[in-house]
Structure 1
Amino acid sequence: MKVIVIDDDRLVSVSLKTILEADPEIEVVALGNSGGEAVVLYNEYKPDILLMDIRMDGMTGLEAGELILAEDRDARILYLTTFLDDEYIIKALKIGAKGYLLKQAFESIVPALKAVYSGQSVFGDEIVTKIPMLLGGEAAVDFSAYSISERDLEIIEGVAQGLSNREISETLFLSEGTVRNYISNILDKLELRDRTQLAIFYFNHK
């Protein structure tokens, strides 16, 4: 797994490189200290995951992430910050970030990277509890208007709760492959890009 680390504190970025490369599955291919560097380095190395801070001088991590995802919709960006600001969380979700973690939970960083690499979205416990409040819409929507069946809706609810395909399959007594197919079809029906956007859609329309 090739990772780029972006943090405006050079000591933090170097320390993160040391922590991450203690795991033989992770290679930190580049370090950067600004949003501008993040864009340049991402385009140069095309890493599996971009691990990035949010508040930085000049271009922020969110601005950099938006530019990168506009060019590469498959980019996997995991934000690592000390800030739990609502506006940051909403922005990260809406641009399509794969995760949002607090630096204080340093023991979760490596597992989070592996989860994102495997196709999951990862948000720390503090963030998950805030998402329904931040994204919840007032008007209920008739999901059947989108050709969403009751089974589809059960799958969507599982995704919105942050469950993996395996966890959803165990809950609904389906095979993991069947769940994967359901999610793919649901994304096509709703014209969405990934699980994160699906969760946002659910919370905005439930």
Structure 2
Amino acid sequence: MTLRVLIVDDDDLMRAGLRAVLSSDATLDVIAEAADGTEAADLAVRLRPDVVLMDVRMPGRDGIAATTDITARAADVRVLVLTTFDDDEYVFAALAAGASGFLLKRTRPEDLIAAIHTIAAGESLLSPAVTRTVIDRMSRRPRIDPAAARGLDRLTPRERDVVTQIARGLSNAEIATTLFVEESTVKTHVKRVLAKLGARDRVQVVIAAYEAGLVAPGE
């Protein structure tokens, strides 16, 4: 199955380079390019690509604002943020805006292609470092959101256990070891948690856990 990709970057050379990289995979089809956030959001809503490769810093409307718009108006479109900046502010803002992954532009071509397939498959591309960034930020700015707490009430006790471990940055394999269950069981619980919370990925689960007070800062 061919995956349809929208490339967003204000640098003409960068867009050409990304197109060249993606052309090495016959299952990827670059259907359009955009040079700013406004054009990116309009094209994403109209063309419904499987994945948007989104730059952050662009003149006019930036990639964070565009990602927020796309995820609100086209929930089926997945956004993979690709930037030269690895500052925590950009990571957290991109993920909070609804992006499904975050990569630096120095990422190897084969890793970028693999990331697009991962994102398109409905998974999130979150390295432990990125997950820790979110956890650290939520820990420094603790707050209890009653709406988030009510959302977690829909979970079973075991699902809440899984959410707690996700919020501590554990992988599925590590959660399985901690809870003495099979990894396949953890994956099933994670899918149910995402569905019940209406979360796009694990990072949104982490944020919900902190906002609901399920995990306390410093744990």
Same fold flag (TM > 0.5)? yes
1:93–1:200 contact (8 Å) kept in structure 2: no
1:100-119 aligned within 5 A: 100-107=102-109, 108-119=111-122
Give the fraction of aligned pairs with identical amino acids, expressed as a percent.
28
Is 1:185 aligned to 2:188, yes or no?
no
Residues 78-116 of structure 1 show CA distances to partners (whole Å, capped at 9, x for unaligned) of 100111233322222222110111112234311211111
- 1:12 shift after superposition: 0.5
Distance in 2, matches of 1:154 and 1:92, equals 27
Distance in 2, matches of 1:155 and 1:168, equals 11
Give the count of matched residue pairs: 201
- 1:43 shift after superposition: 2.2
2:36–2:62 contact (8 Å) kept in structure 1: yes
1:143-158 aligned within 5 A: 146=153, 148-157=155-164
Residue 171 of structure 2: SS of its match in structure 1?
A: coil
1:118-197 aligned within 5 A: 118-124=121-127, 126-136=129-139, 138=142, 146=153, 148-157=155-164, 159-160=166-167, 161=169, 163=171, 167=173, 171=177, 173-174=181-182, 176=184, 178-187=185-194, 189=196, 191-195=197-201, 196-197=203-204
- 1:203 shift after superposition: 4.0
Distance in 2, matches of 1:90 and 1:62, equals 10
Residues 116-163 of structure 1 show CA distances to partners (whole Å, capped at 9, x for unaligned) of 11221113555334221112254689x797254442134224544373
Distance in 1, matches of 2:94 and 2:116, equals 16
Q: TM-score, structure 1 length as denominator? A: 0.82
Distance in 2, matches of 1:38 and 1:90, equals 20
- Other-structure match for 2:99: 97
1:121–1:162 contact (8 Å) kept in structure 2: no
- Other-structure match for 2:29: 27
2:45–2:74 contact (8 Å) kept in structure 1: no
Distance in 2, matches of 1:123 and 1:10, equals 28
- Other-structure match for 1:73: 75
Residue 119 of structure 2: SS of its match in structure 1?
A: helix
Distance in 2, matches of 1:17 and 1:162, equals 35
What value does the CA root-mean-square deviation take over the aligned residues?
Answer: 2.9
Residue 78 of structure 1: SS of its match in structure 2?
A: strand
Q: Which runs of 5+ in 2 are unaligned?
A: none
Q: Which runs of 5+ in 1 are unaligned?
A: none
The code of the aligned residue for 2:171 comes to L
Moved more, 56-65 or 39-48: 39-48
The 3 A distance-change label for structure 1 pair 194 and 168 is farther
The 3 A distance-change label for structure 1 pair 202 and 8 is same
